[in-house]
Amino acid sequence: MTYLFNNPANFADELIEGFVAAHRHQIQWVDGGVMRRQRAKTGQVVVVIGGGSGHYPAFGGFVGLGLAHGAAMGNIFAAPSAQQICHVVQAVDAGGGILFCYGNYAGDVLNFNQAQERLRIQGIDVRTVVVTDDVASASVIERHKRRGIAGTLPVFKAAAIAADAGKSLDEVFRIATEANDRVCSLGVAFSGCTLPGANKPLFEVMNGKMEVGMGIHGEPGLYRIDSLTADGVAEMLVDKLLSEVPQAVSDISGARVGVILNGLGAVKYEELFVVYRKIEQLLSAHGLIIVEPVVDELITSFDMAGISLTLFWLNEELEQTWIAAADTPAFHRGGIVDTAHSIANDLEVKGAAEKLLVKPSAADSQAAAKIVWLALEAAADAIRAQQEYLGHLDAIAGDGDHGLGMQRGLAAAVDAAKTVLNAQAGAGTLLIMSGDAWSNRAGGTSGMLWGVILRNLGNALGDDARPNSAIVAAGVASALQAVIDLGKAQPGDKTLVDVLYPFSTALTDGATKGLSLAEAWTAAAEIAGQSAEATKNLTPKIGRARPHANKSLGNPDPGAVSMALVIDAAGRIIRKHCD
């Protein structure tokens, strides 16, 4: 379990602060994550990686000479927000373009894609390589759906070495893509992990059993079997990975491979070496030539007991990136000297965050802004009261942090709303800036979607007049469409869309009938509550909960429940202050 923490909501921020303090000669803090202490050469490509915290050394531990230039670091098991990612890019950008590289998880894909769109509008050329090395998470035919686990390291390294060599963005993208095509991994787990502040593991594996292919957030694997000996585990991992040799490798006899044996958190190094002993024997017996193997903890899951094996099938070009020197807080290879790069300036980097100007608005819109602020406060209270329940629902088919993420996001939204309200802004600006604060603080898929919801609602309300039921209904409809466009969820997929869709429909219907905002919202909120409860009869079809479909059946979706809680809380304020 996790023993050392203060407030679990601040755990990620505090670990980043301590991480930077311990490695100041290699990295430095930047709003949203960390960056190399040394600046990239002017005009070169830079590599930005990222993901949720709780997997150290991934992802901040891979920032340094010979590896990534910067990493966006999200909350525990939650993707970094698009705003965090943009801040990291603005700090490390050297003018030659950006390559995003990260593991294939829904929240990371959504937030990095949103950041990519924002940066391209600013004139920054951005490409993306999503790592898909986990063979347990999808078939070869659907390789694009596979998760990214320890195979992220050789892909990150291939991209970074190419970038530091001065190659073009097209070439860096090509090399990283080929590295991803040539890497495959498989893991086993003997136990779950316990998040900071939790009193029991996020998921459990029965004593004497092992889960083959379990993901780093508890996603189920291929099957559960009786635990094997160290040699038995090695044989199973090697056999499975050798059944998926890349098409570019015509004959494995004489093929050269980089090998990673990764510990997931609780397995000790002595145990890893016992397993690697057999892996080396097996691969050599097949005629493979092992190049610079790594036996280490590279991508972990707190105290999860488990290991993963990665094979990186080399060609001449990729072998040079694999054996190249590197010096980061968590990965060292060879000797590296860098005197050409200037040392980054702390004050310059820390000032990279965006600053938005707020203008006073019309009196009616200011009055509406105060109601929105009160509604956000009421929603925060409602979520706080149900945080443990939401976490329980999320742990059934996810990583158990939904309640905590919602609380973090709403707290940030309330603080931003208060600041904007004091600046005499209108309801539209207040919603937009509150949504940005929510997204930035909460991260993950949920944080990003709630940011989109508030931003679209804010755009509809504007700052010129007191909104009526028709304006609010149009804003909710716009938010719904944006959520569907970004998240790709449809009604019936067991997500917050299963509440937002019927709520929007009912709200529009009430507005069309000429009901007041209070009347229309109240009627629609009742439908939202019923719809949230009805999600217990659905099975998830997208996102991290999809592989846990059977476990999820009979329990409502946490995102749907929290959506209904927010709608209900806002309704109480609307009935009190609106006609």
One domain, residues 289 and 428? no
Contacts of 352 (CB under 8 A, 6+ apart): 30, 31, 87, 90, 91
One domain, residues 412 and 325? no
Q: How far is CA 559 from CA 4, 85, 435, in A?
A: 29, 24, 17
375 found inside a domain: yes
pLDDT beyond 80 at 266: yes
One domain, residues 320 and 419? no
Per the structure, the complete domain to which residue 53 belongs is given by: 8-333
Predicted pLDDT at 353: 40
CATH number at residue 62: 3.40.50.10440
pLDDT beyond 90 at 194: no
Predicted pLDDT at 203: 77
The most confident of the ranges 98-102, 337-341, 421-425, 541-545 is: 98-102
Q: Are strands 209-212 and 223-226 parallel, antiparallel or unpaired?
A: antiparallel
Mean of per-residue pLDDT scores for the chain: 91
Give 464-508 pLDDT, tens digit per residue. Answer: 888 999 999 999 999 999 999 988 889 999 999 999 999 999 999
345 found inside a domain: no
pLDDT beyond 80 at 383: yes
350 found inside a domain: no
Percent of the chain with pLDDT over 70: 94
One domain, residues 254 and 208? yes
For residues 467 and 517, the answer to whether their CB atoms sit within 8 Å is yes
Q: How confident is the model at residue 351 (pLDDT cuts 50, 70, 90)?
A: very low
CATH number at residue 415: 1.25.40.340
pLDDT beyond 60 at 287: yes
- Among 83-92, 356-365, 366-375, 408-417, where is mean pLDDT lowest? 356-365
One domain, residues 325 and 424? no
One domain, residues 392 and 311? no
One domain, residues 326 and 369? no
Which residue, 317, 333, 349, sits at the end of a domain? Answer: 333
One domain, residues 254 and 128? yes
Predicted pLDDT at 540: 81
Which residue, 313, 333, 353, sits at the end of a domain? Answer: 333
Q: How confident is the model at residue 391 (pLDDT cuts 50, 70, 90)?
A: confident
Which string of DSSP letters, residue by residue, matches 539-569?
Answer: ---SSTTGGGHHHHTTS--HHHHHHHHHHHH
Predicted pLDDT at 346: 47
304 found inside a domain: yes
Task: Name the residue among 116, 131, 4 with its Cα closest to residue 59.
Answer: 131
What counts of helices (H) and strands (E) characterise the chain? Answer: 19, 14
Predicted pLDDT at 357: 61
Active site annotation includes 25: no
One domain, residues 312 and 404? no
Q: How confident is the model at residue 543 (pLDDT cuts 50, 70, 90)?
A: low
pLDDT beyond 80 at 336: no
How many CB atoms sit inside 10 A of residue 270's CB?
Answer: 7
476 found inside a domain: yes
What SS3 string covers 429-486?
Answer: HHHHHHHHHHHHHHCHHHHHHHHHHHHHHHHHHCCCCCCCHHHHHHHHHHHHHHHHHH
Predicted pLDDT at 154: 98
One domain, residues 320 and 200? yes
Strand-pairing partners, residue 212, are 188, 223
Q: How far is CA 277 from CA 108, 293, 310, 314, in A?
A: 35, 12, 15, 21
Strands (E), 151-198: 183-189
- Counting Cβ atoms within 10 Å, is residue 497 exposed (0-12), middle (13-18) or buried (19+)? buried
For residues 363 and 165, the answer to whether their CB atoms sit within 8 Å is no
Q: How far is CA 303 from CA 227, 300, 306, in A?
A: 18, 8, 9
Residue 289 DSSP class: E
Q: How confident is the model at residue 548 (pLDDT cuts 50, 70, 90)?
A: low
516 found inside a domain: yes
Residue with tokens 């939401």: 390
Which residue, 315, 333, 351, sits at the end of a domain? Answer: 333
Q: How confident is the model at residue 397 (pLDDT cuts 50, 70, 90)?
A: low
Q: How confident is the model at residue 358 (pLDDT cuts 50, 70, 90)?
A: confident
Q: How confident is the model at residue 558 (pLDDT cuts 50, 70, 90)?
A: very high
Among residues 69, 87, 217, 402, which one is catalytic? 217
Predicted pLDDT at 339: 47
Give 214-251 pLDDT, tens digit per residue. Answer: 888 877 778 889 999 999 999 999 999 999 999 889 88
Which string of DSSP letters, residue by residue, matches 291-345?
Answer: EEEEEE--S--TTB-EEEEEEEE--HHHHHHHHS-EE-SS-EES-----SSPBPP
348 found inside a domain: no
Predicted pLDDT at 372: 96
pTM (two decimals): 0.85
- Among 97-106, 354-363, 561-570, where is mean pLDDT lowest? 354-363
The residue type found at 546 is: R
One domain, residues 177 and 124? yes
Predicted pLDDT at 214: 87
Torsion sign over Cα 51, 401, 496, 385 = negative
Q: How confident is the model at residue 392 (pLDDT cuts 50, 70, 90)?
A: confident
Predicted pLDDT at 347: 40
330 CA to centre of own chain = 21
Q: How confident is the model at residue 340 (pLDDT cuts 50, 70, 90)?
A: very low
Strand-pairing partners, residue 211, are 189, 224
Category of 143 on φ-ψ map: left (φ > 0), alpha (ψ -120 to 50) or beta: alpha
- Among 81-95, 111-125, 331-345, 374-388, where is mean pLDDT lowest? 331-345
Predicted pLDDT at 342: 47
Predicted pLDDT at 544: 59
End-to-end CA distance of the chain: 51
473 CA to centre of own chain = 31
- Among 112-126, 224-238, 390-404, where is mean pLDDT lowest? 390-404
Query: How far is it, in rounded angstroms, from Cα 394 to Cα 391?
Result: 5
CA gyration radius for the chain?
24
For the chain, the domain total comes to: 2
Query: How far is it, in rounded angstroms, from Cα 315 to Cα 300?
Result: 28
Predicted pLDDT at 148: 96
344 found inside a domain: no
Predicted pLDDT at 567: 96
Predicted pLDDT at 398: 66
One domain, residues 325 and 373? no
Give 425-470 pLDDT, tens digit per residue. Answer: 999 999 999 999 999 888 888 899 999 999 999 999 999 888 999 9
